[in-house]
Amino acid sequence: MVYPMKNRRDDLMKRLLYVGIAVVLALSFIGCGEGRDIYIAGILSDQLADGDIAFDPVQDLYTIVNGPDTLFFGIDEADRNLPEYRAFLDFPLDGSTDGDLVPVDAEILRATLEVYIDEVSFAGIIPTLLELVTFPINGLTSADFDSLPLRFPNGRDASISFDLFSRDQGDFVLIDVTSLMREAQRRGLSDFQVRFVLDFDSDIGLVGIEDRPRVAVTAPLLTVRFR
């Protein structure tokens, strides 16, 4: 499920601190379940591991860009060969990039992915697929473009579908990724890695996701509530 964000984030760490304190205080009064505290982790994506891949079907050529300030997915209608772009985000869960830690034995209550949309060249609705994948943190390869997504225990692809909109340009979008995060946790993955893919029941165009961790207010943010 995706939610448009109409207000900019003021201060990432301050907001998470306030929310975390409020949750813990509330639970201390009402006594939640087994009395276990609830924690909130905020993890910015690792720009060095992030990237996008464009596939040119005419030249049978892959163009890989690691660590750009804007990640693209969709179809580039400005190129006569109509290359397809897919975007990749990596969120370390083990604190390796000095972000918050999600313990391997944590129970995931809710997880959201918040991204800032830099650019949209579509006129309306953009059907989007977000897939749980694995890829090398030291650099994407052409094989990552169409690698199989991971699967849930029932055999279904670990993916979610939702719509983006042309009006999302210049705004935040919040995506519920709880099911994907729970699967990553079940597998004991040290990184939460996802791939943005255009669902093809739509007009062609590109979506740009801002990816500048030095500008934390607009960098991709994974927020995980756990106990």
Instruction: Note down pLDDT in tens along the chain; length 227 residues.
Output: 555 444 444 445 544 444 444 344 334 433 444 557 999 999 999 999 999 999 999 999 999 999 999 999 999 999 999 999 999 999 999 999 888 999 999 999 999 999 999 999 998 899 999 999 999 999 999 999 999 999 999 999 999 999 999 999 999 999 999 999 999 999 999 999 999 999 986 689 999 999 997 888 999 999 999 99
Q: Which domain holds residue 77?
A: 41-226
pLDDT, residue 30, reads 38
Rounded alpha-carbon distances, angstroms, from residue 213 to 30, 43, 50, 51, 110:
37, 10, 11, 13, 23
Q: What is the pLDDT of residue 26?
A: 39
pLDDT at 156: 98
Is 8 among the domain residues?
no
Q: Is residue 22 part of a domain?
A: no
Q: For position 198, what pLDDT does the model report? A: 96
Does a structural domain hold residue 4? Answer: no
**Domains identified in the chain, total number:** 1
**The pLDDT value given to residue 12:** 52
Three-state secondary structure of the chain: CEEEECCCCCCHHHHHHHHHHHHHHHHHHHCCCCCCCCEEEEEECCCCCCEEEEEECCCCEEEEEECCCEEEEEECCCCCCCCEEEEEEEEECECCCCCCECCCCCCEEEEEEEEEEEEECCCCEEEEEEEECCCCCCCCCHHHCCCCCCECCCCCECEEEEEEEHHHCCEEEEEECHHHHHHHHHCCCCEEEEEEEECCCCCCCEEEEECCCCCCCCCCEEEEEEC
Evaluate whether residue 3 is within a structural domain.
no
Report pLDDT for 34. Answer: 53
What's the pLDDT score for residue 213? 79
CA distance 83 to 74: 8
pLDDT reported for residue 162 = 96
pLDDT for position 200: 82
Give the pLDDT confidence score for residue 211 in this predicted structure.
96
pLDDT at 14: 46
Q: Are 206 and 85 in contact (CB under 8 A)?
A: yes
CATH number at residue 117: 2.60.120
Backbone phi and psi for residue 123, each to the nearest 5 degrees, phi listed first: -95, -20
Q: Please state, in angstroms and rounded to a whole number, the distance separating the CA atoms of residues 55 and 94.
A: 32
- pLDDT of res. 83: 97
Contact call for residues 25 and 19 (beta carbons, < 8 A): no
